[in-house]
Amino acid sequence: MMMNRDVAVLQGAFLLADKLCLPSSLSSLEKADWSRVGHVVLEAVREICGEDVTAAVSWIKKLVCAVWLKVLCRETGEDIETAWRENPFFSLQNGLPDVNHVVLLEVVRSMPAAQIFAQFLFCLPQSRICTELERLVQHVRSSPTREDDIRLFLEVWWELWKGRDEQEEGGEASMETMFARQFARLLSESPSLSPQAAKRFKLEASDPPVRSPTADVLHILLHALKDIKDHITTTDLCLQALSISLDALHTAFLIDQTVVLPTKEKMHILSKEVSIREKKNEKVSPELIQEAQRDLRACHTPSQFQPSRMKLEEALKIITEVSQFWQNSGLLEVNDSSSYSAFKLEQSVQRVLAALQKAKAPETMTEMDDQETAKNKLRGLLESLVFPATESLAGVNAIVTATIISHRLEDYRDFAVLFVSEQSFAACDELWVNCLENNQAAFQQHDTLIKLTSTFMSKLHSESPNVSQCRKLLKVTADIFSALSLEDKNKALAAMLRLSSRGFFGRSVPSAVAGGFEQELNMAFNCIIQGRGGASAATSQGNLNTAVSLVARVAFQNPEAALRSCCHSAIFNKGAFSLMAEILQQLPGLRGQRDRKDEAQSNDDESREAEEGVDGGKDALSGSALLCRCLQEMIKTKSLSANEKEQLLKYLGLLMTPVMTVDGEEERRQSFLTRQEVVNIFVLPNLSTTAKSCFDIELSLQLLHAALSVEVHEPALSPHWVLDCSPFPLLYVLAQLLNQTLRCWEQPLDSTVHHWSMDTKELLVSVLTTLGQVVGAEVGAAPSSWSRALFWLHNKMEGLDWTICFHLKPIWGEHFKNEVPSSLLTVCDLPEQEWSGLDLPQYGQGTGLLAWMECCSASDSLQSIMLSRLSLDQRRPDHVNMFSKGLLVALTQTLPWCSVPQWTRLLRVLRELITSSRLHVPFSLEYVDYLPLLDLRRFSCDLRLSVLLLRVLQLLCGSSCSHWLPSDGWAHTGRLYAHAVRDIMNSVRAKLLLPSSGALTVPASASPQTPVPRDSSPSHTSVKAPKMSKELQQAKGSPLKSKDCQMEEEEEEEEEVETVPSQEVLFVLSQLFCHVQHIQVMMPGGQCEPLFLSSLEILSHYEAIMAAFPHSSSPLESDNTRHFFSTITDNLENQEMKAVLQQKIAQLVSSAA
């Protein structure tokens, strides 16, 4: 109802105006008559719109659209039957009297509605635009030509040059779209108008206007300006006209692409404009700034109305002519510094003068001369103009920039970067902080954030910072960071590390700010540790993402504190090392920039740099070096438990493991810590052969082993990373340490050299071997480059044990012979081309087999050579006998100083020697009451090996050798013997095919391949698997069998008893038990726990075999065995061990009954 009333009011006003024209009408109204009738229409519009600006714009737009279409309908003679169906403006338009173009243009001038008129012009083809502009020019020139007419002309011109108003554009239902459709329809239906015009009609905003050779908008406008120049009689209009014409010249002729101004320059121009307009009592508003931005953009963007008829020379002449005319009239003299038109003209003059210097020259000399003359004239005239100085104030700059950001105006993100970069803006405390707090989304780019960070640091580290504002700014900055993507977060973290390794806390800050951060830091890590419980995969991934965000947030504020907390949690919270490593792997930005030289610097150098403060980024460390420093401090200041050391090793191992990361669009595998970083920082400074404290050395060796063991699923890099870690000095130090461990039991208690463990010896051998293989590959690739280092290392090895050189065999290659004691050459046939003898005092006559045993234990390849090159004439019994006795002595000398891998190799050697009959070990019957009627040939090797070890331990525990070893040495010897016992048990059980159950299950890996003795019976090489006993079958519910079937099964069982060597296995186990008990009694202290456990294991196997094979032992035999075992066990001194063993022995009852 309200809409119909408003329409009626408007229609009534036009009808009244039409009556006021009598005896004429609005369809033939003259320009001079509008003042007599137009006030009726204007009053009606004011009544309808009231104070609502938005409604006023909408109604004026409807009015202009309806009047314009009414004019066109009158020209085309529109069919009313068609109009009411297809014209959305029919209800308003049909009630209006006929009008002409004068009414239309006077309505546009009076409202004023130049911008609306220009927006409707954009809906027309360029040829039609030219037609309408010509009508406008004709209207302006017609009498009387008023100042408002000139202003309308200039405003329409400039609105056309600014282009379409993007905010005014809409979709299908927008007024401009409906106007364009009606205009096109009317043109297509009109027989008097060209049909081609309608075809060329463009409805889409993105479509460029169609050019016509005769349709030259700039030609029309400039010539119109020339014609009406004498009607422009005020300075303001004159300055405005010259400014617009210069900008039209600039955008149509002098630039061919958009000129991009620096944001700071834009800001100064906008601020000056706002300051001038404020003096005219215009309030600073987003609309005002937005309009100023449109003006600025139009001045630097090539015009869409490119000239087709007009040449540059002609345009220059027209502008020069009108400028000269106005200058002669005194209209270009400006004294008012608050003149907006003067400021706009000054900007236009500066742009044109700069562009004239770069303008392209015409093709012909004549044109060039004429154009240059025109340029010089205009240049001289423009340069003679004097403008008052205008300045942009810092406060206005800040207000304008904040308004652009707050209302998301054009280029607001660029202005956001400027806003956080300028210290002058930050001085406007309240405005600056409020804008940041209320518009965080505008600053959510990592480069903007880093500039904000630098500016905030300056405020935070000033002499008297505002604590409340600083706390608020710290939170805002952290919130902006938290909203970034993970990729941008990493970029921001890397940038923060370049600024300061302590972030915002690189210098002294107010205690309230620091305290707030400490609280946030503790809360973040408490949440992470408490929330890492078991959950589904999706929940776990969500928890990980949350943890990454929490750590990233605190790390951005203070990278060092966050990394220190990560390290503390990883080491001292059980199981947290993997989560902390995962978090850091998600934050590669915390690695910072890597530099090999920086990585190799000592911790002291890094500490000094970190203490120098923020200035110049002097305390900026790489994140990986920072993390290493945090770990170093923990290792030095806290005594770590074994579990904490293990967590530290696993933590660093995970950080050294490459994971897939995304760097922009590129995916690559990277580790948070490089292996050379870990080695250079944790290993090289701590390795020493004279260190009294072993903690750092042993931990460093484990770290070196971890670094060498990291799996990298990529092609090997060349050169290898180890070459960045002083490989040859490192090899020499490792060799020195290994040299100290070779005789670890011989070191006195008060020795300055550390008392090494066998575990450390194994680790050293592993590390030295692996490192030797790596370096050897590099040396082999370029031997000439490494010759000097190679000879240096070989010379250094002369002072160490001769066996160590074999671990570095890959490095020596063909450069050096294998140097061994001369005594070895007497028992081995080694080629002189590859082997040479050394005269070593400790290897005198008769020590050849000792050296041979040491070689056999060194490596598998060396063991193979020693076995194949052994000089022994097996045809001479005296040689074999002498060799066997010598080997017994050599084994006694070697055993206590073997590591487990070395001992395993020696056991293989002993088996090979026994099997090949080179080693003679007679089997005595000292633990046999009667001669067993059994076939023990297939167990010959196991029995002889057990006897040999018994003889070795008897010799070692004898009076002549018992003083060799300290208690730790005896304990290690017991562990080695227990290892050999398990090896023999596995070998024995492998010969007895047992049901897969319980203690009888033998893993394939635990059963070494034992060569068959030469005297073993071939009849026992294939053994049937034993069937389950009748009791077991009945327990499984097997059906009852006939008597014949049962007899057949009993016969099969008797056959199996004869075939399966269960009795032989029981006999061998009984001998092994006696040997173990014998040795445990002999060993000093008699409390060797590994031997006690071996005895229990033997008894368990014995019991299991008796249960699986009931006929293997009769009740009488079982009773004799229990009595015999108990008698042996009575010799033990330890009562608890004795009681446990005798209880176990009592369970050995035959089930044959």
What confidence category does residue 1037 fall into, taking pLDDT thresholds of 50, 70 and 90?
Answer: very low
Other beta carbons less than 10 A from residue 428's beta carbon: 18
Lowest average pLDDT, out of 239-253, 581-595, 644-658, 932-946, goes to 581-595
Helix (H) or strand (E) holding 762, with range, is helix 758-781
Q: Residue 1027's pLDDT is what?
A: 36
What confidence category does residue 161 fall into, taking pLDDT thresholds of 50, 70 and 90?
Answer: very high
Pairwise CA distance, residues 508 & 385, whole Å: 55
pLDDT in tens, 910-932: 999 999 999 999 888 788 877 77
What's the mean pLDDT in 811-840? 92
What's the mean pLDDT in 1077-1095? 89
Q: What is the mean pLDDT of the chain?
A: 84
Flag whether pLDDT at 273 surpasses 80: yes
User: What is the CB-side half-sphere exposure of residue 420 using CA atoms within 13 A?
Assistant: 31
Lowest average pLDDT, out of 497-511, 620-634, 811-825, goes to 620-634
Contact call for residues 746 and 700 (beta carbons, < 8 A): no
User: What is the CB-side half-sphere exposure of residue 109 using CA atoms within 13 A?
Assistant: 25
Flag whether pLDDT at 1074 surpasses 50: yes
What's the mean pLDDT in 663-669? 67
Contact call for residues 22 and 33 (beta carbons, < 8 A): no
Paired tokens of 729: 């000095």
Paired tokens of 121: 């012009």
Paired tokens of 684: 């090289």
Return the bridge partners of 819, or none.
836
Lowest average pLDDT, out of 195-209, 314-328, 960-974, goes to 195-209
Lowest average pLDDT, out of 341-355, 366-380, 933-947, 1135-1149, goes to 366-380
pLDDT in tens, 668-698: 788 899 999 999 988 988 887 665 554 578 8
What Cα–Cα distance (Å) separates residue 934 from each residue in 870, 1067, 1069?
Answer: 34, 9, 14
Q: Residue 1102's pLDDT is what?
A: 94
Flag whether pLDDT at 199 surpasses 90: no
Lowest average pLDDT, out of 199-203, 649-653, 976-980, goes to 199-203
Q: Residue 1089's pLDDT is what?
A: 92
For residue 1061, give the amino acid letter: P
Closest CA to 904 of 1008, 803, 802: 1008
Burial level of 208, CB count in 10 A (0-12/13-18/19+)?
exposed
Is the C-alpha dihedral spanning 879, 881, 884, 886 positive or negative? negative
pLDDT in tens, 1004-1029: 333 333 333 333 333 333 333 333 33
Pairwise CA distance, residues 557 & 770, whole Å: 42
| Main-chain dihedrals φ then ψ at residue 660, nearest 5 degrees | -75, 125
- Buried b / exposed e across 817-853, counting CB within 10 Å, b at 16+? ebbbbbbbbbbbebeeeebebeebeebeeebbbbbbb
Other beta carbons less than 10 A from residue 538's beta carbon: 8
Pairwise CA distance, residues 99 & 38, whole Å: 12
Q: Residue 365's pLDDT is what?
A: 61
Flag whether pLDDT at 982 surpasses 60: yes
What confidence category does residue 1056 fall into, taking pLDDT thresholds of 50, 70 and 90?
Answer: very low
Q: Cα torsion for 486, 491, 493, 498, to the nearest 10°?
A: 170
User: What is the CB-side half-sphere exposure of residue 135 using CA atoms within 13 A?
Assistant: 16
Return the bridge partners of 820, or none.
837
What confidence category does residue 750 fall into, taking pLDDT thresholds of 50, 70 and 90?
Answer: low
Q: Who wins on pLDDT, 265 or 186? A: 265
pTM of the predicted model as reported, rounded to 2 decimal places: 0.80
What Cα–Cα distance (Å) separates residue 506 from each residue in 499, 602, 1145?
Answer: 9, 21, 72
Q: Residue 227's pLDDT is what?
A: 93
Cis peptide before 112 (omega within 30 of 0): yes
First to last CA, the chain: 115
Q: Cα torsion for 97, 101, 103, 105, to the nearest 10°?
A: 150
Paired tokens of 436: 């940041």
Pairwise CA distance, residues 243 & 265, whole Å: 19
pLDDT in tens, 868-900: 999 999 999 999 999 999 999 999 999 999 999
What Cα–Cα distance (Å) separates residue 905 from each residue in 856, 983, 1011?
Answer: 7, 12, 15
Q: Residue 599's pLDDT is what?
A: 38
What confidence category does residue 290 fall into, taking pLDDT thresholds of 50, 70 and 90?
Answer: very high
Q: Residue 1025's pLDDT is what?
A: 35
Return the bridge partners of 215, or none.
212
Helix (H) or strand (E) holding 663, with range, is strand 659-663
Contact call for residues 332 and 238 (beta carbons, < 8 A): yes
The listed range with the strongest mean pLDDT (660-669, 1021-1030, 1031-1040) is: 660-669
| Main-chain dihedrals φ then ψ at residue 998, nearest 5 degrees | 55, -140
What confidence category does residue 389 fall into, taking pLDDT thresholds of 50, 70 and 90?
Answer: confident
| Main-chain dihedrals φ then ψ at residue 838, nearest 5 degrees | -120, 135
Pairwise CA distance, residues 103 & 95, whole Å: 16
pLDDT in tens, 337-377: 788 999 999 999 999 999 998 876 665 666 677 788 888 99
> Alpha helix locations (H) across 50-162?
53-76, 80-86, 90-93, 101-110, 114-121, 126-141, 147-162
Closest CA to 900 of 1090, 1070, 739: 1090
Q: Residue 1040's pLDDT is what?
A: 35
- Rg of the chain over Cα atoms, rounded to whole angstroms, equals 50
Q: If you write DSSP's letter for every residue of 339-393 in order, what string do you get?
A: -HHHHHHHHHHHHHHHHHHHPPPPSSHHHHHHHHHHHHHHHHHHHT---------
pLDDT in tens, 781-821: 888 888 899 999 999 999 899 999 999 999 998 889 999 99
Pairwise CA distance, residues 343 & 349, whole Å: 10
Contact call for residues 66 and 93 (beta carbons, < 8 A): yes
What Cα–Cα distance (Å) separates residue 536 from each residue in 238, 549, 585?
Answer: 76, 20, 21
Contact call for residues 824 and 852 (beta carbons, < 8 A): yes
Q: Who wins on pLDDT, 535 or 903? A: 903
What's the mean pLDDT in 524-544? 77
Paired tokens of 92: 């308003």
Non-local (6+) Cβ contacts of 63 within 8 A are 10, 45, 107, 111
Non-local (6+) Cβ contacts of 1146 within 8 A are 1122
- Buried b / exposed e across 770-805, counting CB within 10 Å, b at 16+? bbbebbbebbeeeeeebeebbeebbebbeebbbbbb
Non-local (6+) Cβ contacts of 600 within 8 A are 680, 724
Q: Residue 485's pLDDT is what?
A: 94
What's the mean pLDDT in 498-518? 91
> Alpha helix locations (H) across 586-670?
596-600, 603-610, 623-637, 642-656
Pairwise CA distance, residues 180 & 186, whole Å: 10
Helices (H) and strands (E) in the chain, counts: 51, 4
Contact call for residues 705 and 766 (beta carbons, < 8 A): yes
